[in-house]
Amino acid sequence: MNAPRTAPATIPTPDWDGVRTDFPLLTREIQGKSLIYLDSANTGQKPASVIEAVDDFYRRHNANVSRAVHTLGTEATDAYEGARSKLARFLNVRADELVLCSGTTFAINLVAYSWALPRLKSGDTLLVSRMEHHANIVPWQLVAERTGARIKVAELTADGSLDLPALYAAMTTDVKLLALAHVSNVLGTVNPVREICREARKRGIVTVVDGSQAAPHRALDVAAIGCDFYAITGHKMCGPTGTGALWARREHLQAMPPFIGGGEMIREVSFEGTVFNDAPHKFEAGTPNIAGFIGLGAAVDYLQSVGMANIEARENELLAHATEELLKIDGLRIFGRAPGKAAVISFLIEGAHAHDLATLLDLEGVAIRSGQHCAHPLLQFLGVAATCRASLAFYNTHDEIERFVVALKKARGLLA
Ligand code: PLP
């Protein structure tokens, strides 16, 4: 169950045009134009192998997990647990420290309710960065409300980096937990989580890293990061929606009470009391999204066949191209210019509303996101009501970037 990871093999650079044909949806037309999908930070597209894995499960293997001794039940359980093992190897963690759940939102709530709520009290502080997604803010606010703990905000520098000296100064003795994105979904900032977690650990602060925007785009070694909790979501990493995971240090999983009660998470139930299953099953009550996790296992296989180092290099190339072209547009401002940032470009064009730009781009077949990206406190810091966000993935092409920029210039012309 817990095979240690062997050194990742170097995968030759793939034929990117070939990779693109793995994604059926990318051949779609929108408004009579070829789709240009630039919303992968929102959700990633799915390769055929993932869609087929889900389809194959329902056609040939469908049964519930861990309940039946019949052949289908065994096949379903093996495939589900196989997906957990694949994901564990992908993250370089132990499979029995990986709780499968519906995604990052659930994963962080699990930490909030099961780790933080019973431990925090008035006088304690939760440290949260300014660039967090609401999924890494609101659960802490709920904990703070119930416990009397307070929330302190780690602020950013002008380019959208975390202000590290300020962050370390904010790690005072009252701080019990630090909640931090590995990669920002708005700015693309890649936080030096390894260094930050080391500093937090020295001060006895428990760290929760939101890896939603990291796992799809770079090789991860969660064990080396040295955090206490790491959350990921499957739908952004080419997997099905409603899948994700929380990795936690064993000592936390053992000490934490169950969050949701029901079947699967117990060893024995009587009206006198219940004996819970071991972690991670103790946190997986009820029938899980079996087909989804089998699809996520296929997504992990797929990402590894392309190679995470290749994916990161490809996306860096696309990011550099898109940034250079966008900056040639008069009045265009990019939010988030941290060195080494990921391929997420939030921008505005002077005089044009973000939603108007996104609507006009849709008429050209270009899918970008506009709005506040579930990050209201960050947008308040940026001093804008909304931004446009083009988020790239390895399946995008240089040609798409050129066509996106042409479409954006046309949209801007219409709004001028
Ligand atoms: N955290 C970040 C940084 C995100 O970008 C997202 C999704 O956009 C989430 C959390 C929420 O994840 P989920 O969709 O799994 O609830």
Q: Does ligand 1 have an atom closer than 6 angstroms to the CB of 102?
A: no
| 194 contact partners, CB below 8 Å, separation of at least 6 | 224, 225, 226
Q: Does ligand 1 have an atom closer than 6 angstroms to the CB of 342?
A: no
289: pLDDT confidence band, cut at 50, 70 and 90?
Answer: very high
Residues in the chain: 416
Give the pLDDT score at 1.
45
Has residue 280 got a pLDDT over 60? yes
Which pair of structure tokens corresponds to residue 105? 């939102």
The alpha-carbon radius of gyration of the chain (Å, integer) is 22
What span, in angstroms and rounded, lies between the C-alpha atoms of 220 and 10? 15
Q: 322 with 366: CB under 8 angstroms?
A: no
Ligand 1 atom closest to Cα of 102?
15
Name residue 388's beta-bridge partners: 347, 370
First to last CA, the chain: 60
Residue 269, classed as helix, strand or coil, is: strand
Per-residue pLDDT tens over the stretch 187-211: 999 999 999 999 999 999 999 999 9
The answer to whether domain 16-38+308-415 and domain 51-304 are alike in fold is no
Q: Does ligand 1 have an atom closer than 6 angstroms to the CB of 103?
A: yes
Number of C-beta neighbours around residue 88 at 10 A: 23
The alpha carbon of 232 and the centre of ligand 1 are apart by a number of angstroms equal to 8
**Which residues are catalytic, by number?**
374
Q: Whose CA is nearest to atom 6 of ligand 1?
A: 212
Has residue 354 got a pLDDT over 70? yes
- Please give the CATH number for the structural domain made up of 16-38+308-415: 3.90.1150.10
Per-residue pLDDT tens over the stretch 367-412: 999 999 999 999 999 999 999 999 999 999 999 999 999 999 999 9
Sequence letter at residue 216: P
Give the residue carrying structure tokens 């609401």: 134
Phi, psi of 275 (to 5 degrees): -100, 125
Q: Where are the beta strands (DSSP E) in 166-304?
A: 175-181, 206-210, 229-233, 244-248, 266-270, 273-276
DSSP state of 407: H
H helices present in 283-367, as ranges: 290-306, 308-326, 354-363
Q: Whose CA is nearest to atom 12 of ligand 1?
A: 104
Give the residue carrying structure tokens 């990795």: 247
Name the residue with higher pLDDT: 127 or 6. Answer: 127
Q: 252 with 231: CB under 8 angstroms?
A: no
The alpha carbon of 155 and the centre of ligand 1 are apart by a number of angstroms equal to 20
pTM of the model: 0.97
Give the residue carrying structure tokens 């941290």: 338
What span, in angstroms and rounded, lies between the C-alpha atoms of 176 and 166? 17
The alpha carbon of 181 and the centre of ligand 1 are apart by a number of angstroms equal to 10
Has residue 111 got a pLDDT over 90? yes
Distance of CA 6 to the CA centre of its chain: 24
Ligand 1 atom closest to Cα of 374?
8
Residue 153, classed as helix, strand or coil, is: strand
Q: Does ligand 1 have an atom closer than 6 angstroms to the CB of 389?
A: no
Has residue 3 got a pLDDT over 60? no
Q: Whose CA is nearest to atom 7 of ligand 1?
A: 42
Q: Does ligand 1 have an atom closer than 6 angstroms to the CB of 19?
A: no
Q: Does ligand 1 have an atom closer than 6 angstroms to the CB of 391?
A: no
Q: Does ligand 1 have an atom closer than 6 angstroms to the CB of 212?
A: yes
Sequence letter at residue 145: E
Burial readout 384-411 (b: 16 or more C-beta within 10 A, e: otherwise): eebbbbbbbbbbbbeebbebbbebbeeb
Q: How distant, in Å, are the alpha carbons of 88, 202, 257, 392 from that of 118? A: 28, 23, 9, 40
Most ligand 1 atoms within 8 A of CB, residue of 99, 100, 189, 212 to mutate: 212
The alpha carbon of 187 and the centre of ligand 1 are apart by a number of angstroms equal to 14
CATH 2.70.98.60 correct for 51-304:
no
Name the residue with higher pLDDT: 415 or 119. Answer: 119
Domain boundaries, the chain: 16-38+308-415, 51-304
Q: Does ligand 1 have an atom closer than 6 angstroms to the CB of 178?
A: no
Give the pLDDT score at 266.
83
Sequence letter at residue 77: T
Q: Whose CA is nearest to atom 16 of ligand 1?
A: 105
